[in-house]
Structure 1
Amino acid sequence: MVKPSIFSKDYEKKMRRRKKRIAFAAFVSIILIIFAVIYSKNVFRNFGTNANNTKNNVTSNKNETKNLDINKQESKAPAKQEKIEGYPIQLSDGTTVNAIYETKNNDKTFKNISPAESNIQYNISPAGKNIVLFDSKVQSIILMDISGNKQDITNPQYVSTSGTVITKSSQLSAQPGYIWCSAPKFIDEDNIAYISQLPWIGKTTKYVWIENIKNKTHTWVQGIEGEDVKLDKLTDKGLTVIVDGKTIYLTSNGSITE
Structure 2
Amino acid sequence: MGKPSIFSREYDRKMKARKRRKTIFVFCLIAVALYFFCRTTYTRWQDNYFKQKQEQSTGYLANGGDKDEGVSSKNNEEKEQVPETEPEQVPIITDKTLDLNLPNGKVIKVIYNEENGSKSIRNIVSEDNFLLFFNVSPSAAKAVVLDSAQELYIIDLEGNIKNISKTEYITTKGTKIEKNSYLQRNPSFQWHSTPKFINENTVVYISQMPWFQTKKSVYKVDINDVKHERITSLTSENISFDIMEEKGLKIKVDGAVMYINNEGNVIQ
TM-score normalised to the size of structure 2? 0.59
Indicate if the aligned counterparts of 1:92 and 1:138 stay in contact, CA closer than 8 A: no
1:232 aligns with 2:248: no
Which residue of 1 is the match for residue 142 of structure 2? Answer: 130
Which residue of 2 is the match for residue 214 of structure 1? Answer: 224
User: Pairwise mapping of residues 3-14 of structure 1 onto structure 2 (< 5 A)?
Assistant: none
Identity %: 31
Find the aligned partners of 1:153 and 1:114 in 2 and give their Cα distance: 20
1:108 aligns with 2:119: yes
Shift of 1:170: 2.0
1:153 aligns with 2:169: no
Which residue of 2 is the match for residue 248 of structure 1? Answer: 258
Find the aligned partners of 1:120 and 1:247 in 2 and give their Cα distance: 25
Shift of 1:97: 3.1
Compared CA separation, residues 94 and 228, structure 1 to 2 (3 A): farther
Compared CA separation, residues 242 and 86, structure 1 to 2 (3 A): same
Find the aligned partners of 1:127 and 1:174 in 2 and give their Cα distance: 38
Q: Deviations over 1:28-67 (max 9, x none)?
A: xxxxxxxxxxxxxxxxxxxxxxxxxxxxxxxxxxxxxxxx
Q: CA RMSD in A?
A: 2.5
Letter in 2 for 1:166: I
Letter in 1 for 2:252: I
Letter in 2 for 1:187: I
Find the aligned partners of 2:104 and 2:225 in 1 and give their Cα distance: 29
Greater Rg by CA: 1
Compared CA separation, residues 228 and 92, structure 1 to 2 (3 A): farther
TM-score normalised to the size of structure 1? 0.61
Find the aligned partners of 1:221 and 1:183 in 2 and give their Cα distance: 15
Indicate if the aligned counterparts of 1:210 and 1:252 stay in contact, CA closer than 8 A: no
Higher helix share: 1
What is the number of equivalent residue pairs in this alignment? 175
| 3-state SS of paired residue (2:159) | coil
Letter in 2 for 1:184: P
Shift of 1:95: 6.0
| 3-state SS of paired residue (2:199) | coil
